[in-house]
Amino acid sequence: MTPANLTPEFMAADKKFKAATSPQDRLAALEEMLSTIPKHKGTEKMQADIKRRIARLRSETQKRRGAARGKPFYHVDKEGAGQLVLVGAPNSGKSALLRALSNAEPEVAGYPFTTRAPLPGMMAYENVQIQLVDLPPVDAELSEGWLYGIIRTADAVLLVVDLADDDILARTDEVLRLLAAANIELRAGPAGSRRPEEGPQIKPALVVAAKLDARGAGERLAIFREYTGDRLPVLPVSAEAGTGLDALREAGFRLLDVIRVYSKPPGRKADLTAPFILDRGATVLDAAEAVHKEFAQKLRYARLWNRISQGLMVGRDHLLEDGDILEIHA
């Protein structure tokens, strides 16, 4: 053993790094070194050096990828009913959740920093699709500015915490501290994401307590709920067992604070498979514009169908609710 008590696994990863001929192989070897290095005072400088090399190599690799595609590597076009970003500390279980909830196939491994760039996937909830984006972990030494930029522009945040981690409270504190330093504040409920004139940018959020199937998860969940209080709602799930995933789909949709409105052509049935997605608080006029701008310009009135009304005549300023069926008369 060396004075730093380096393990055979670390030495093997170091050998891979020295033999690597491509940036991708060097990056993979460095990440393996970081995950296998003994964590004690004698290796603190080595850990910091490895993290710096990872950050530098990752940045260089991603810049080359972005240049080849013509867009920044971290750019994600929004799709579906809204965009939810998965935010958390290293190895919190974000990628496993993305894989369980969507059509995406992220790399899932037992070591941190597996996710190096944003990875989107589409999550189905009833008859709509919601975009989930798995982000690199929030980390004091490795997180770059663009990561916080994506969080700021997202519609809402799923803060993923690890119920298998005895340090769950400290890690959550660190993530929230780094978000606050980036002028981002997470709040309960669909509070909207508009930036106030002063102060931090408010993002609607909920906590996804992952790895509910882990040993001791129940006890950690109880402690975490006490720590969180009423600051943020906590939803326990297990990507491995599938526990709580349906509840998470619904909670994610509610967090977006949008409604589904269906168009019904006069004299025909409504198509209930393809709703128009509108912000809560939308009016008949907003719905008409979503269907076609010409409809909004010529709108005279509309008829409304829902659980209470059947063909009720409504004006352009009538507020709509989720599930309303609208027959527009221009």
pLDDT of residue 126: 93
d(CA 16, CA 18): 6
- pLDDT tens readout for residues 91-117: 899 999 999 999 877 665 554 455 567
For the residues 81-85, what does the mean pLDDT come to?
Answer: 95
User: Which burial class, exposed, middle or buried, applies to 141 when counting CB atoms under 10 A from its CB (0-12, 13-18, 19+)?
Assistant: exposed
**Cα 263 to chain center, whole Å?**
30
pLDDT of residue 36: 81
pLDDT of residue 2: 45
- One-letter amino acid of 72: P
C-beta of residue 24 within 8 angstroms of C-beta of residue 61: yes
Ranking 8-17, 21-30, 167-176, 321-330 by mean pLDDT, the lowest is 21-30
**Cα 135 to chain center, whole Å?**
7
Instruction: Output 11 or 25, whichever has higher pLDDT.
Output: 11
- Nearest in space to 122 (alpha carbons), one of 64, 76, 90: 76
Highest-confidence segment of 46-50, 69-73, 291-295: 46-50
pLDDT of residue 111: 47
Q: Would the pLDDT of 226 be above 70?
A: yes
**Rounded to 5 degrees, what are φ and ψ at 112?**
-75, 165
pLDDT tier, 144 (very low <50, low <70, confident <90, very high otherwise): confident
Name 20's bridge partners. none
Instruction: Output 295 or 64, whichever has higher pLDDT.
Output: 295
d(CA 187, CA 131): 20
Sorted by where each starts, the structural domains of the chain and their CATH numbers stand as 8-69 (1.20.58), 83-256 (3.40.50.300), 258-329 (3.10.20.30)
pLDDT of residue 312: 92
Q: Among residues of the chain, what percentage have pLDDT more than 90? A: 51
pLDDT tier, 203 (very low <50, low <70, confident <90, very high otherwise): very high
Angle (nearest 5°) at CA 107 between 135 and 27? 80
d(CA 214, CA 209): 11
- Nearest in space to 161 (alpha carbons), one of 205, 191, 104, 103: 205
How much is the pTM?
0.74
Q: Would the pLDDT of 68 be above 70?
A: no
- Nearest in space to 204 (alpha carbons), one of 277, 139, 253: 253
For the residues 268-274, what does the mean pLDDT come to?
Answer: 87
